């Protein structure tokens, strides 16, 4: 009888270990496209998730291609949170072929997208939805729903984490709004058009040096310089993931300077506030 009880105990433990992701220290393996999403998933998933970003520090989502090692790890993952950055478009089909059981979650769901205008008149969705904390609240809800589907037994903890994260997003939103009060209504010039949602949210207008992902032609650059001169612009903001040379050429034409600003930093809330302070300082010069 004792032997039977012991056997049932061992079998029961085996099955609990099989179906509980925390048994033996295991976690749900999730992938995201960019580094800020790691923060979002960790804030909601907490101790139940192990998250990896495909695009590492200093890399650009516009030119990224997955490595064989990453594809091997993706084959063993359970969830992928996409956000709409360029490399995803041709990558998703490959990914589902490698791991057909992978849960694919589109964090753009429910987000009111803005669009880039092209010279052909078509409109391309702007993927930089992580730079507006109001939109991140929506993305966090989507992440929470997905994790509740994968691990329903821990739904209450995910929802509790979500509530705390959303409170922090409301707080940083208020702080940024206060920081940018002195420069509301102004235009800020950037190399790559990553800050449209951020600008829209806080009453600023983004003007990009890049046009449809390309360097401007001499004629386009001349018009841009004339516009910047009229507006008294002396600062060009540039992301570390892109070459500074084109931005520096524009800055020289304005007798101005290039200022770095990073939309892909890991410490999300701190970075948003830092971005706001850098923009305010640059626009008040």
Nearest in space to 189 (alpha carbons), one of 137, 115, 249: 249
Would you say 208 and 192 are in contact if contact means Cβ atoms under 8 Å apart?
Answer: yes
Q: What is the DSSP track for 153-180?
A: GGHHHHHHHHHHHHHHHHHHHHHHHHHT
- Predicted pLDDT at 253: 87
Looking at residue 118, its pLDDT comes to 60
Report yes or no: 216 and 193 within 8 Å, Cβ to Cβ: no
Phi, psi of 150, rounded to the nearest 5 degrees: -75, -40
Task: Report H helices in 202-265.
Answer: 218-230, 245-253
- The enclosing H or E element of 189 equals strand 187-190
Strands (E), 60-148: 79-82, 103-106, 115-117, 123-125
278 class by beta-carbon count within 10 Å (0-12 exposed, 13-18 middle, 19+ buried): middle
Report the pLDDT value the prediction gives residue 98, as an integer from 0 to 100. 86
pLDDT-flagged residues of the chain (< 50): 1-20, 23-24
Query: CA 48, CA 40: separation in Å to the nearest integer?
Result: 13
Give the pLDDT score at 133.
Answer: 99
Residue 65: per-residue pLDDT: 87
Q: What is the pLDDT of residue 247?
A: 84
Q: What is the pLDDT of residues 100-134, one digit of tens each?
A: 999 999 999 999 999 986 655 568 899 999 999 99
**Any residues with CB less than 8 A from the CB of 72 and at least 6 apart, and which?**
none
Tokens representing residue 217 in the block: 């032609």
Q: Name residues whose C-beta falls within 8 Å of residue 224's C-beta, 6 or more positions apart in sequence.
A: 207, 209, 216, 250
Give the span between the Cα atoms of 278 and 151, in whole angstroms.
40
Domains and CATH numbers, the chain: 2-176 (3.40.50.1980), 181-283 (3.40.50.1980)
Cα 124 to chain centroid, rounded: 17
């Amino acid at each position: 009888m004792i032997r039977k009880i012991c056997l049932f105990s061992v079998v029961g433990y085996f099955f609990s270990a099989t179906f509980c992701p925390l048994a033996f220290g295991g976690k749900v393996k999730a992938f995201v496209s960019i580094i800020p999403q790691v923060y979002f998933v960790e804030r909601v998933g907490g101790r139940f998730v192990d998250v990896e970003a495909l695009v590492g520090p200093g890399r650009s989502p516009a030119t990224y291609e997955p490595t064989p090692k990453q594809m091997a790890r993706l084959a063993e993952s359970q969830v992928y949170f996409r956000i709409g950055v360029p490399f995803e478009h041709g990558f998703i089909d490959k990914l589902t072929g490698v791991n057909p059981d992978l849960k694919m979650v589109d964090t753009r769901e429910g987000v009111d997208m803005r669009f880039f205008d092209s010279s052909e008149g078509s409109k391309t969705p702007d993927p930089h939805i992580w730079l507006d904390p109001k939109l991140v609240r929506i993305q966090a809800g989507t992440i929470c729903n997905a994790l509740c589907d994968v691990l329903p037994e821990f739904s209450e903890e995910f929802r509790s984490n979500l509530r705390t994260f959303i409170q922090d997003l409301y707080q940083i939103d208020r702080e940024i709004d206060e920081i940018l009060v002195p420069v509301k209504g102004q235009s800020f010039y950037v190399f790559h058009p990553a800050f449209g949602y951020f600008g829209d949210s806080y009453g600023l207008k983004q003007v990009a040096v890049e046009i449809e992902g390309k360097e401007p032609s001499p004629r386009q650059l001349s018009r841009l310089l004339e516009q910047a001169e009229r507006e008294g612009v002396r600062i060009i903001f540039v992301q570390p993931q892109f070459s500074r040379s084109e931005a520096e050429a524009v800055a020289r034409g304005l007798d101005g300077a290039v200022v770095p600003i990073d939309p892909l930093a890991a410490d999300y809330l701190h970075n948003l506030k830092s971005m706001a302070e850098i923009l305010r300082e640059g626009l008040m010069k």
